[in-house]
Structures are given as structure tokens and as C-alpha cells.
Structure 1
Amino acid sequence: MDPNDFCCCGTVHVKAGVQIISTFTLLGGIILILGSPGAQDYAPLTLSVGIIYIALASLAIHGVRKGKPGCLVPYMIKQVINIVTCVVILIICLVPTLAAEYFIDMIQKAAASANPEMKADLDGFTLGFRKPDAPFLLHLIAILPTACASIFLFLEVYIFILFGKCHRHLKAYTEANEAYIKLIERDGQLQQA
């Protein structure tokens, strides 16, 4: 077996990896559908996302079992959309992380200009924290969503790579089978002649 046919972890074949991820997606879609009546404001959206997840996961599982690489393409498109979404969220999370001190000064100046008597109180404190601690705490608060977005981005890219490897494997396997069938047919025609 080709080493490229293994999952990125190196222990599971790409077909098994895609089936595992697709099964989790299928379960997630079922949970979304079952939970949609409870989410009254978002019920139509939750229901439609659940149906899409079930359809994509079922198509991917069918494609792996029947050796049809084209069935993986819709799931890969979903992964590209997820990756772009994660990148946008990561950028949105990075802005406050990188500019926490600027926001502290901006809040401090706005509060002081709104109420001049507070200026004396704001000189030593920022948002209820001592001035030296405030930037650290704001950085810490801003880093948590950034770390979560980074983890989700890593997982989305990992899944996309896994599906891409499986797509290449199935495509090569299908092409090899077609070439073998043509070779057998040609040999059969040669023997008859």
C-alpha cells in the first residue's frame, strides 16, 4: 500500500478516515435536526444545515464504499467554505488581540472625556483592573477566541487534506480498474482473432 493512502495521522487508511469523519458529520446533522424544534428562532436554519450535513455525509460514505471519487467533491466544497469562514473569524479575533492596549487607552479617554471627574479614578485603573494588569487580562481574554478559531482552522484543513487524499486514491483506483478492464477486453479480442 502506498504511504500516501494513509490518513494524516499515518495509522488509518484514507477511506476509513473519510468514513469516520462522515459518520461524525452524519450524527451532527441528525443532532441538528432533532434539536431544531428547541431553537425556535433559528429552527429553519438549523433544520436546513442538518439536512445538508446528512446529505453530504451520506454522499461521502456512498462514494467511499462504491469507489466514486466525485461523491467526495461536495463535502470538499463544504470544507473550503468552512476554511474561509474560520480564516475570517480568526482575523476578527486577532484584531482585538493585537490592539488590546489601543482599546484600553481609547476606552480610558472616552470615559474621561464623558465624565471629567472620573479622570483621577481612571489614571490608576483600567476597566476595574490595575493598569499594569489590564493589558495582560485583555490579551488573555482576546487570545481565547483566537486559539479556538486556530484549532478549528487546523481541524478544517486536516479534514480537507484527508478528503483530498481519499479523492486522489479513489480516482487512481478507478482509473487503474478501467485500464485493467480495457486490457482484458483487448487481450480477449486478440485471442479470438
Structure 2
Amino acid sequence: MTIYLLEIIRLFIGFVLVAGALGKYSVFDQFVTGTAEALGVSLKAVKFVAPIVILCEAAIGGSLVFKLISPYLLMWAALTLFVIFTGLIIYWLMQNAVISCHCFGEAPQPLTFWDLLRNILLLVSIGYFLLQPQAVAELDTISLLLAGGVAMILTLVIINFSQLVVMKNTFSEGAYRVE
């Protein structure tokens, strides 16, 4: 059972990182502008750093998905990225700053507690992976495809976490009641 869970987590974190890279790339100018405003630094500095962030996300995520190098080492790199991202979210939330991060290329919306919770869930997943003995067994193709499907569903849920919470609250308040 543990090998399946570790594979799901490996693919999940890989998919999330690739989605983040593709999302940021798709709204590159908004990502750069929003990040420069949030950090209070020049556009020129962010235009230099932003592609590096996107490439790191894509390289780590893609390498996790395709197991190009040790998933254990890649998870440490992913942990580093998410600790930095989560630290920034905590800082901005403590400052009551209205920041749109374009984390996954979505329309501009301010960071919320739900974005912080999303990142904490990602950090917990990575932590679980890193704390497990690294299994050497490989899954068969069908099992790997099933693990990939579960990982993709988790990715879609985590990427849209804030919107799902808002939708859940809207439904529970009866806004979409059919009469």
C-alpha cells in the first residue's frame, strides 16, 4: 500500500509543479507585475527571477513525473520551493496585503487563508513522502496509470482549492437551491 501512496504523492507534487509553471508562463506579464508589486522590487529584477522560478517548477515537476533522477532528491527541491512560497504567503497574510500571485495562472484574486492551507497540505504530502523508507519496487503499468489518475484528480482539487471552498460555502448557504 505504501508504494502506491508514495507514487501518487510523487506524481501529485510533480503535476502541481508543472501546472504552476505552465500557469505562471501563460500569464507571465501579470505574474511579473503582481510579484514586483508584492515584493516591492523593480520589474527588471522580477523579469530576471520569474523565468528561473518557472523553470525550477517545470524542471522539478517534470523530473518527478518522469522519474528522471531520484524522486527523493527532487522532493527535497520541491520542499524548498514550497517552503519559500508558503513563507511568502504567511508574510503577505500577516501584512494584510492584497496580493494576487497567479500561482496557477488563474484570474487575479487575492491570496487567502485557503491558499495557505493548500500549501500546508502540499508540504504535509512532501513531508510524508520524505519520511517514508524509499521503496525500490516499481508499479506495473496499470497500477502506475491508476496512481497517475488519482494524482491528477488531487492536482485539480488542490489547484482549485480556494474556489472549491467558496463554492461549497455558496451551496451550503442555499444560493443554488433548486425549487
Which one has the largest radius of gyration?
A: 1
TM-score w.r.t. the length of structure 1 is: 0.47
Bigger helix fraction: 1
Larger relative CO (CA 8 A, sep 6+): 1 or 2? 2
TM-score w.r.t. the length of structure 2 is: 0.50
